[in-house]
Amino acid sequence: MMQESGPETKSNGSAIQNGSSSGNHLLECGGLREGRSNGEAPAVDVGAADLAHAQQQQALQVARQLLLQQQQQQHVSGLKSPKRNDKQPALQVPVSVAMMTPQVITPQQMQQILQQQVLSPQQLQVLLQQQQALMLQQQLQEFYKKQQEQLQLQLLQQQHAGKQPKEQQQVATQQLAFQQQLLQMQQLQQQHVLSLQRQGLLTIQPGQPALPLQPLAQGMIPTELQQLWKEVTSAHTAEETTGNNHSSLDLTTTCVSSSAPSKTSLIMNPHASTNGQLSVHTPKRESLSHEEHSHSHPLYGHGVCKWPGCEAVCEDFQSFLKHLNSEHALDDRSTAQCRVQMQVVQQLELQLAKDKERLQAMMTHLHVKSTEPKAAPQPLNLVSSVTLSKSASEASPQSLPHTPTTPTAPITPVTQGPSVITTTSMHTVGPIRRRYSDKYNVPISSADIAQNQEFYKNAEVRPPFTYASLIRQAILESPEKQLTLNEIYNWFTRMFAYFRRNAATWKNAVRHNLSLHKCFVRVENVKGAVWTVDEVEFQKRRPQKISGNPSLIKNMQSSHAYCTPLNAALQASMADNSIPLYTTASMGNPALGNLASAIREELNGAMEHTNSNESDSSPGRSPMQAVHPVHVKEEPLDPEEAEGPLSLVTTANHSPDFDHDRDYEDEPVNEDME
């Protein structure tokens, strides 16, 4: 029965085969996504192939025309136009182009494209995103016009009327509000794109000009707008609105507002430094000098001071620092600007939440048949760190397009175009058997850490941990540090949605692992047999070591030396005590940040390694970057983050969702077969 499943997949159909094979390549290298998206012909009946092709061409033609129009408009407006567009199909048009061109596809045009159903879902999606971006752009421009008019009116009034303090304050207030709105709109667009990217929806391929965030932001604001901003800021300074009653916010600390941008950049930069799949950064950014990287400062970039409205050119970081201290010292003006920025950030966060919600609704709507509802709000890193293509085809080889929740390989049924939104974009993923070290490179938004437990509980995504690690975790979480096989099963199904299907497969794997690894000890009990963990053996099993940060490792080393002979429980608690160190350190690391098991594991691995071979901390491993103190410094540890990973442990045993003794039905491996 199961024997058949493997071969059957391979000989199943060309569509599926193509999908999964290209999907595998996809996993390996983001650059190939491009090729895949292009070359991928919709899986249609051979008889209809020509017709479909013609239709697709037609729709592509429409899309190209629209984009050409956009380009022309953009050219007229004097903006830089990427040159590759005309050569590339709609899918590959850089979003930045669309972002800067105030042209929206009419509903009719969109309808046309949609009705044809021949644009690949990716193409549709890009178009959709462009439309959203364009709407935003239009809003911005309208807003700009209105504000400009208002402002000029007010300036006139100010000149002619007597300068009464009240009016002055009013004007200043409005100017501030204006600044705020401008910034908000500007950042909203960035944020919007960013959010799309973080959802895994928007993928900028490495091969094409990536969306230049910074230039984009600047490009979106007409020069006069910036001029206006400067006027406003200077006017504001002149008037010295110390009282500033327009804002109810109390600027208790400047770090509040400054930490927000810094956080943003922290979120973005790691993304940029991954495999390029989700890269937001520009090629230009990539080519920044090492010095610049080492001096990364949220207020400094591209040799320019990024203080709102400043843009002073600073040749190097030192001069920037000087500039910062001299021009943006703690005074009323800076304080006011900070306050504004604070509000901007707040609004953006609100807006982002709304947009995310909207996106979720959109995807749910477009993806009725194959959406995993919980998948969208998940941290991006998780998606990228987890499995799929391959695993899905292995785990449920017959997974057909209609499979409701299986995050399958990019199978692209022509009749369900939109479903690919999730299968390809959301789950653009790594190979199934990635080990922890891989995930060191995967960035995470620290705020999402706490959600991961819920995520794995609800999203059918393969957890990036080995069976052995999971089994061990299950056992260690139990009060007695021992579990029956069935209880281990239950833990798996309780904690991971992924293990609620294909039970035969993973249960077999669990048993296999229990038997295979010496670290799992079977203990005869009155009621039967239970499984325990021999921690020493477990550590022997994994000589994988954490390199780098010797101090950190050494820190734990001493305690570990005493702990080694202790039983699993003691060691586990010891590891728990050390977790905050690693939690902070693993900020940029989704997989490690998620589960305490992984943290413990790494912890133990590191200590084991250090104990057995102190001088041999192999350098040059990217993983350690995530554990490096510099990150600790940049991302202050906040309680929520520190407790994120632990929450899995602490909440695991009282999950109301599942009945402990109720085993999930063994779903046949071929559940997806007709």
Partner DNA sequence: AAGGTTTTAAACAGGA
Partner DNA sequence: ATCCTGTTTAAAACCT
- Out of 529, 561, 630, 673, the only residue in the binding site for DNA (CB under 7 A) is 529
Residue 461 backbone class (left: φ over 0; alpha: ψ -120 to 50; beta: rest):
beta
User: What number of helices (H) and strands (E) belong to the chain?
Assistant: 31, 4
CB 599 within 8 A of CB 586: yes
Cα separation, 302 vs 215, in Å, equals 10
- Interface with DNA, residue 511, by CB under 7 A: yes
Under the binding rule (CB under 7 A), the answer on residue 8 touching DNA is no
Closest among 99, 52, 71 to 415, alpha carbons compared: 52
Q: What is the CA radius of gyration of the chain?
A: 28
Q: Looking at 224-232, 522-530, 572-580, 588-596, which segment touches DNA (CB under 7 A)? A: 522-530
Question: Which of 169, 505, 555, 611 forms a contact with DNA (CB under 7 A)?
Answer: 505
Q: Binding mask 534-573 vs DNA (x if CB under 7 A, - otherwise)?
A: -------xxxx-----------------------------
- If one asks whether residue 458 binds DNA (CB under 7 A), the answer comes out as no
Alpha carbon separation from 47 to 50, 120, 361 (Å, rounded):
7, 19, 36
Q: Quick check: 2 binds DNA (CB under 7 A)?
A: yes
Amino acid type, 38: N
Nearer to DNA, 2 or 238 (CB): 2
Nearest CB to DNA, comparing residues 144 and 531: 531
Q: Which residue, among 439, 466, 444, has the nearest Cα to 622 in the 3D structure?
A: 439
* Cα dihedral across residues 79, 83, 87, 89: positive or negative: negative
Least Å from the CB of residue 564 to DNA: 18
Nearest to DNA of 246, 517 (CB atom): 517
> Of 58-66, 353-361, 363-371, 430-438, which segment contacts DNA by CB under 7 A?
430-438
* Nearest CB to DNA, comparing residues 489 and 582: 489
Q: Which of 301, 431, 580, 668 binds DNA (CB under 7 A)?
A: 431
**Contact in structure between 342 and 350 (CB atoms under 8 Å):** no
Taking CB under 7 A as the rule, does residue 390 contact DNA? yes
CA torsion sign for 58, 60, 66, 72 is negative
Say how far apart CA 588 and CA 611 lie, in whole Å.
Answer: 26
- When the beta carbons of 432 and 596 are compared against DNA, the nearer one is 432
Under the binding rule (CB under 7 A), the answer on residue 10 touching DNA is no
Shortest separation between residue 375's beta carbon and DNA, angstroms: 19
Q: Under rule CB under 7 A, which residues in 653-672 are in contact with DNA? A: 666, 669
Angle formed at CA 361 by CA 355 and CA 363, multiple of 5 degrees: 100
Specify the stretch interacting with DNA by CB under 7 A; choose among 335-343, 357-365, 499-507, 634-642. 499-507
Per-residue contact flags (x/-) with DNA for residues 435 to 454, judged by CB under 7 A: x-xx----------------
Q: How far is CA 5 from CA 395, 407, 466, 510, in A?
A: 10, 18, 23, 20
Closer by beta carbon to DNA, 5 or else 264: 5
Contact 461, 386 (CB under 8 A): yes
Host H or E run for residue 84? none
- Cα distance from N-terminal residue to C-terminal residue, the chain: 15
Does residue number 516 form part of the binding site for DNA (CB under 7 A)? yes
User: Which residue type does 493 have?
Assistant: T
Pick the closest to residue 641 from 601, 604, 606, 599 (CA basis): 599
Q: Is 178 in the site for DNA (CB under 7 A)?
A: no
CB of 483 to DNA, least distance (A): 10
Nearer to DNA, 125 or 393 (CB): 393
Contact stretch for DNA (CB under 7 A) within 116-124, 360-368, 386-394, 608-616: 386-394
Does 486 interact with DNA (rule: CB under 7 A)?
A: yes
Return the number of the residue (44 or 395) whose C-beta is nearest DNA.
395
Q: Report the residue from 400, 485, 566, 570 that binds DNA according to the rule CB under 7 A.
A: 485
Binders of DNA: how many residues, by CB under 7 A? 50
Residue 466 sits in the site that holds DNA (CB under 7 A): yes
Nearer to DNA by Cβ, of 156 and 529: the residue is 529
Judge whether 58 and 118 are in contact, CB under 8 Å: yes
DSSP string, 451-512: HHHHHHHHS----SS-HHHHHHHHHHHSTTS-B-HHHHHHHHHHH-GGGGS-HHHHHHHHHH
Q: What are phi and psi of 61, to 5 degrees?
A: -60, -45
**Nearer of residues 48 and 516 to DNA, judged by Cβ:** 516
Is there binding between residue 6 and DNA (CB under 7 A)? Answer: yes
Q: Which stretch binds DNA (CB under 7 A): 99-107, 289-297, 498-506, 626-634?
A: 498-506
Which of 467, 491, 492, 496: binder of DNA (CB under 7 A)? Answer: 467
Q: What is the C-alpha separation between 377 and 426, in angstroms, rounded?
A: 11
The tokens for 632 are: 């600790």
Minimum distance from residue 594 beta carbon to DNA (Å): 15
CB of residue 205 to DNA, shortest distance in Å: 22
Minimum distance from residue 516 beta carbon to DNA (Å): 5
Closest approach, Cβ 114 to DNA, in A, equals 36
Distance of CA 657 to the CA centre of its chain: 27
Cα–Cα distance, 499 to 492 (Å, whole number): 6
Helix extents (H) in 367-466:
380-385, 389-395, 420, 436-439, 449-458
> Do the bridges between strand 520-524 and strand 529-533 make them parallel or antiparallel, or are there none, so unpaired?
antiparallel
Q: Which of 430, 588, 590, 644 binds DNA (CB under 7 A)?
A: 430
What minimum distance in Å lies between the beta carbon of 651 and DNA?
23
Q: Which of 213, 204, 229 is nearest to 151 (CA)?
A: 229
Does 489 interact with DNA (rule: CB under 7 A)? Answer: yes
CA distance linking residue 563 with residue 583, whole number of Å: 21
- The nearest distance, CB 401 to DNA, in angstroms, is 19
186 Cβ contact list (under 8 Å, min separation 6):
140, 217, 220, 221
The single residue among 94, 206, 309, 397 that binds DNA, judged by CB under 7 A, is 397
Site for DNA in 74-93 (CB under 7 A): none
> At its nearest, how many Å lie between DNA and the CB of residue 606?
13
395 binds DNA (CB under 7 A): yes
Contact with DNA (CB under 7 A) among 167, 231, 239, 394: 394
List alpha helices for 278-331, DSSP H: 283-286, 290-294, 317-327
Q: In the beta sheet, which residues pair with residue 523?
A: 530
Interacting residue with DNA among 5, 147, 184, 341 (CB under 7 A): 5
Least Cβ distance, residue 655 to DNA (angstroms): 21
The first and second tokens of residue 57, run together, are 């061409």
Contacting DNA within 583-642 (CB under 7 A): none
By CB under 7 A, tell whether 465 contacts DNA: yes
Which residues are near DNA by CB under 7 A? 1-6, 24, 390-391, 394-395, 397, 430-435, 437-438, 465-468, 484-486, 489, 502, 505-506, 508-509, 511-517, 522, 528-529, 531, 541-544, 666, 669
